[in-house]
Amino acid sequence: MRVLIADDEPDMLRILTAYFKKERYEVFTANNGEEALETFYREKVDLVILDWMMPKKSGIEVCREIKARSDKKVLILTAKGEEEDELKALSIGADEYIRKPFHPKVLVLRVKKLMGIEKELRYQTLRIDPEGSKVYKDDVDLQLTKTEFELMYALVRHRGQILTRQKLLDIVWGLDYFGDIRTVDTHVRRLREKVGEQVIKTHRGLGYSVDASDE
């Protein structure tokens, strides 16, 4: 999926780009409204994420033009918190509206929901509900912690791949985590007790994986 992210804050662009690329999205960026429109017309994107307050053209202006000429999904980011602002964004065609500050993972999940992606995953006897952050085994809620859920979700989405401890830290704990890398081992051990000892494979000196086949 191809995503255009427009924001005049370089750090925000960098962080969001990193998170979406980890989810295998193709990402295009712009730092003002005019550049956002130029990129939109040049590239065939599936979704546009716009900051409300941008130089040259605001996110609202860009959204209005995109919606007048296409049926592409548009999500508005804003630090503005008034109800009438949300109503204004939705009234001119925005499909979703998220207030800053927010965690990038929340934005990724909202995008997936908006685009109808990965509403539910199944792996062996497990059913994974990304929206509710729950994992069920034979339809019984395993009561995973938030971190355990994120670990299991990451492994199943990357089934057949070995994820290093550092990769898992980046995905689950975030790019700004600087704690002990061995915390991954502790959480995997606890997760195995709930999902089953044989579900998650250890690759000594490399990392962890689940099988590509879910049989």
Q: What is the pLDDT of residues 91-141, one digit of tens each?
A: 777 888 888 888 888 888 888 888 876 667 888 889 998 777 889 998 899
Which residues of the chain does CATH 3.40.50.2300 include?
2-115
DSSP SS3 for 33: helix
Name the H helices within the chain: 10-22, 33-42, 59-69, 83-91, 104-115, 146-157, 165-168, 183-195
Which residues of the chain does CATH 1.10.10.10 include?
121-209
The residue that leads in pLDDT, 52 or 209, is 209
Specify the pLDDT at position 159. Answer: 87
Pick the CATH number of 121-209 from 3.30.9.10, 1.10.10.10, 2.60.120.1440, 3.40.50.720: 1.10.10.10
Q: Within 10 Å of residue 41's Cβ, how many Cβ atoms?
A: 13
Fold classification of 2-115 (topology level): Rossmann fold (3.40.50)
Tell whether the model's pLDDT for residue 145 goes beyond 70. yes
